[in-house]
């Protein structure tokens, strides 16, 4: 059992500290880049360091305290600092002049009414001598970045829990900030929480001390500049287990051994990623297994990746998500999309790197299974939006009409982005050439930002004779124009053949012999995905599904990916069975990962509208606010509980 403060190293041996990084001029996006989702004035004056002093109150469900900004002025005669806020109470603002130690109250104003998507701009008066600004504030019940869980909503049932989710534009509801990916800052933090709870952040823990009032204060430091959406906080009854020389896994005590087993390959993923992209610069790489309401598979917060418990399959079959989040340490965290319009530059590069990590560790065939499932997800997304929908472009124009980035996120930036990089790889000469280019890409843009223009310039500099249709790939909607020649994958071919034969003959194919014990979960998912595609053209007979279930025992599966596809298949039958309805409702009540709950609610709504509405009403308060908002839209409801 470990009670070591979050991300602190128990030994200095073999643990690399954060690397040196460029100064302020390199951590603010270049002047030609603006962020349509932010109302801040970072092009005139940017925040390059944040100092947090927070108190976490579980009784009032409030985080209160101060954030202090260190300023870097890009224009000489700037008289205000503008930061983003949403659903915060702003109490006072203070300014400090360069060379002085004390702060003085300064004037401020808050946009009223706030923008319905982007919140209220906080304008703070400064002068030419101002070097630091401090804001005293507190969160509210509407702060979307925070999820407060009662003891009953945790695994241990004894203590409350808090975690944050700031991507894409939710950081402004946690603390005032220049909430744009085009602004990077280092930070330090002082977080006071009730004992015996543990506080963790996306930073390295430097110390902790108990107070005389039944509280514990934790101190953190993040020395590598990063955007606001990567600031993360979690507070709960937490323990850790060592995974390697620079990583450990945290979770509630009852889950920590399961997590320790599931994520045992973390160090292998890290070292393989370093071979692909260069040295890991963040010092620690810890994992936090969150409660089931966490709305994503993972979140790449530096030094402390958040993970969903739906990854606990018991056989390490779903840990590619860890490989994905590790790849983000370079693609997204170190080299960041300059604006949310090019989110694909975070996710497309990361999926590409994730699959290279899987291929290097487990072979091309296994990576091919992941690619096949990803391609099918992309087809589903494009079909769901419509092939001409602007959200099926890699570059999403958010300037003509205000867009909440949450609404535009799907498998498109992930899978279409990865397909584009694979296309470039084929054109420039294959994996060896392109992997060398990737390292150059990281070196050129690390600690900073990248947009399509700067990426294109680098490609054309390195490969001047290669012709790429940037317009079609980046700015045109629909499926990618070139997915490349089909790669032979015997695992995919076998899974699809079993699905085809079983569906057409109504009998178990000979090729399925032993599949219930020898196939990986990915191979099973390929088979189920093929059955879903067959079902769209011709309804499967009920006895076929019964036979498949009897053979694979899907009804008792604890693998979330398999369970999701099996329930999806059952819901799309002409008359779903009561058992299918029951398992779907149970699954929707057990976890809040949007990858699963959103499509299942849509399918359930089509099959049994009232059951879908009743199930959402029952589970709504247990979902994260982001998931609540998106599911409500999917079901045609207002995102207001009223």
Mean pLDDT of 32-43: 92
Q: Which of 239, 300, 325, 347 is catalytic?
A: 325
The whole-number pLDDT of residue 8 equals: 41
- What phi-psi label fits residue 126: left (phi over 0), alpha (psi between -120 and 50 degrees) or beta? beta
Residue 215 has pLDDT above 50, yes or no: yes
- pLDDT at residue 11, rounded to an integer: 32
Q: What is the mean pLDDT of residues 132-138?
A: 98
**What are φ and ψ of residue 288, in 5° steps?**
-125, 115
Cα 479 from Cα 374, distance rounded (Å): 13
Instruction: Establish whether 414 is a catalytic residue.
Output: yes
Residue 6 confidence (pLDDT) above 50? no
267 band by pLDDT with thresholds 50, 70 and 90 = very high
Is pLDDT at 287 greater than 70 in this prediction? yes
12 has pLDDT over 50: no
Paired with 240 in beta bridges are 2, 250
Nearest residue to 346 (alpha-carbon basis) of 367, 379, 372, 324: 324
For residue 33, what pLDDT band results from cuts at 50, 70 and 90? Answer: confident
- State yes or no: pLDDT of 7 exceeds 50: no
Taking 60 as the threshold, does the pLDDT of residue 31 lie above it?
yes
Instruction: Output phi, psi for 345, to 5 deg.
Output: -75, -20
Q: What is the arithmetic mean of pLDDT over 339-343?
A: 97
pLDDT band at 24 (very low <50, low <70, confident <90, very high): confident
Q: Using one digit for the tens of pLDDT, what is the confidence trace for 77-90?
A: 999 999 999 999 99
Which pLDDT band holds residue 483 (cuts at 50, 70, 90)?
low
At 427-468, the pLDDT tens digits run 999 999 999 999 999 999 999 999 999 999 999 999 999 999
Mean pLDDT of 11-39: 67
Q: Say whether pLDDT at 22 is over 80.
A: no
Tell me which architecture the domain covering 238-329 has in CATH. Answer: 2-Layer Sandwich (3.30)
Among the ranges given (31-45, 582-596, 620-634), the one the predictor scored with the smallest mean pLDDT: 31-45
Q: What is the pLDDT of residue 9?
A: 38
Q: 37-234: what fold? A: Immunoglobulin-like (2.60.40)
Between CA 577 and CA 584, with CA 579 as vertex, the angle to 5 degrees is 100
Enter the pTM of the model.
Answer: 0.94
Element (H, E) at 82: strand 80-85
Q: State percent of the chain over pLDDT 90.
A: 90
Residue 134: the pLDDT is 98
Question: Per the structure block, which two tokens stand in for 312?
Answer: 């606990």
> In this predicted structure, what is the pLDDT of residue 4?
38
Write a three-state SS string for 191-225. Answer: EEEECCCEEEECCEEEEEEECCCCEEEEEEEEEEE
What pLDDT shows up at residue 1?
Answer: 38
User: Is the pLDDT at 49 greater than 50, yes or no?
Assistant: yes
Give 238-259 pLDDT, tens digit per residue.
999 999 999 999 999 999 999 9
Whether the predicted pLDDT of 26 surpasses 90: no
CA distance 461 to 458: 5
For the 338-475 domain, the top CATH level (class) is: mainly alpha
Q: Are 579 and 545 in contact (CB under 8 A)?
A: no
**Dihedral sign of CA atoms 275, 277, 282, 285 in order:** negative
pLDDT of residue 211: 87
Looking at residues 149-165, what average pLDDT do you find? 96
Confidence of residue 504 (pLDDT cuts 50, 70, 90): very high
- Average pLDDT over all residues of the chain: 93
Class (C level, CATH) for 490-634? mainly alpha
Cross-strand bridge partners of residue 66? 53, 136
Residues in Cβ contact with 562 at an 8 Å cutoff, skipping those fewer than 6 apart: 521, 524, 525, 528, 554
How do residues 350-397 score in pLDDT, each as one tens digit?
999 999 999 999 999 999 999 999 999 999 999 999 999 999 999 999
For the chain, what percent of residues have pLDDT higher than 70?
Answer: 95
Catalytic-labelled residue, pool 187, 414, 581, 623: 414
Q: What residue spans define the domains of the chain?
A: 37-234, 238-329, 338-475, 490-634
């Amino acid at each position: 059992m470990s009670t070591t403060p979050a991300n602190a190293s128990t030994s200095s041996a073999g643990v690399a500290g954060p690397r040196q990084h460029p100064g302020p001029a390199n951590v603010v996006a270049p002047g030609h880049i603006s962020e349509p989702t932010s109302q801040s004035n970072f092009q005139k004056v940017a925040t390059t360091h944040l100092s947090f002093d927070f108190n976490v109150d579980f009784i009032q469900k409030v985080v209160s305290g101060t954030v202090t900004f260190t300023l870097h002025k890009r224009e000489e005669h700037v008289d205000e600092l503008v930061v983003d806020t949403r659903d915060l109470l702003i109490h006072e603002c203070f300014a400090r002049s360069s060379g002085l130690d004390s702060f003085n109250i300064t004037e401020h104003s808050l946009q009223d009414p706030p923008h319905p998507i982007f919140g209220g701009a906080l304008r703070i008066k400064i002068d030419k001598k101002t070097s630091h600004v401090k804001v005293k504030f507190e969160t509210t019940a509407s702060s979307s970045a925070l999820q407060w869980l009662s003891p009953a909503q945790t695994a241990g049932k004894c203590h409350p829990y808090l975690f944050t989710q700031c991507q894409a534009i939710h950081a402004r509801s946690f603390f005032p900030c220049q909430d744009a990916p085009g602004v990077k800052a280092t930070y330090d933090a002082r977080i006071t929480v009730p004992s015996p709870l543990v506080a963790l952040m996306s930073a390295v823990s430097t110390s902790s001390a108990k107070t005389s009032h039944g509280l514990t204060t934790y101190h953190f430091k993040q020395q590598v500049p990063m955007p606001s959406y990567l600031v993360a906080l979690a507070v709960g009854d937490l323990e850790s287990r060592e995974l390697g020389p620079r990583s450990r896994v945290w979770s509630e005590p009852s889950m920590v051994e399961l997590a320790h087993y599931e994520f045992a390959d973390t160090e292998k993923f890290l070292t393989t990623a370093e071979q692909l992209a260069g040295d890991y610069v963040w010092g620690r790489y810890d994992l936090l297994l969150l409660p089931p309401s966490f709305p994503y598979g993972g979140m790449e917060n530096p030094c402390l990746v958040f993970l969903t418990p739906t990854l606990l399959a018991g056989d390490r079959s779903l840990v590619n998500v860890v490989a994905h989040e590790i790849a983000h340490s370079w693609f997204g965290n170190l080299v960041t999309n300059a604006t949310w319009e090019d989110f694909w530059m975070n996710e497309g590069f990361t999926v590409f790197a994730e699959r290279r990590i899987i291929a290097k560790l487990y072979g091309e065939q296994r990576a091919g299974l992941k690619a096949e499932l990803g391609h099918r997800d992309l087809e589903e997304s494009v079909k769901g939006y419509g092939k001409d929908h602007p959200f099926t472009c890699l570059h999403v124009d958010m300037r003509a009409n205000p867009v909440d980035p949450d609404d535009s996120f799907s498998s498109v930036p992930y899978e279409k982005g990865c397909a584009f990089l694979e296309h470039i790889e084929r054109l420039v000469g294959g994996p060896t050439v392109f992997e060398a280019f990737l390292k150059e890409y990281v070196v050129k843009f690390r600690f900073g930002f990248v947009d399509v223009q700067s990426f294109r310039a680098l490609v054309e500099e390195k490969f001047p004779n290669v012709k790429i249709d940037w317009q079609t790939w980046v700015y045109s909607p629909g499926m990618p124009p070139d997915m490349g020649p089909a790669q032979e994958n015997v695992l995919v071919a076998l899974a699809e053949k079993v699905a085809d034969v079983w569906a057409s003959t109504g009998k178990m194919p000979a090729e399925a012999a032993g599949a219930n014990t020898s196939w990986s979960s990915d191979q099973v998912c390929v088979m189920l995905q093929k059955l879903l595609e067959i079902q769209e053209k011709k309804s499967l007979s009920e006895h076929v599904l019964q036979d498949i279930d009897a053979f694979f025992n899907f009804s008792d599966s604890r693998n979330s990916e398999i369970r999701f596809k099996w329930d999806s298949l059952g819901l799309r039958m002409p008359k779903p069975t009561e058992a299918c309805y029951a398992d779907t409702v149970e699954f929707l009540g057990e976890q809040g990962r949007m990858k699963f709950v959103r499509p299942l609610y849509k399918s359930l709504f089509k099959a049994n509208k009232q059951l879908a509405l009743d199930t959402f009403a029952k589970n709504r308060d247990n979902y994260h606010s982001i998931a609540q908002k998106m599911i409500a839209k999917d079901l045609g409801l207002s995102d207001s509980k009223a």
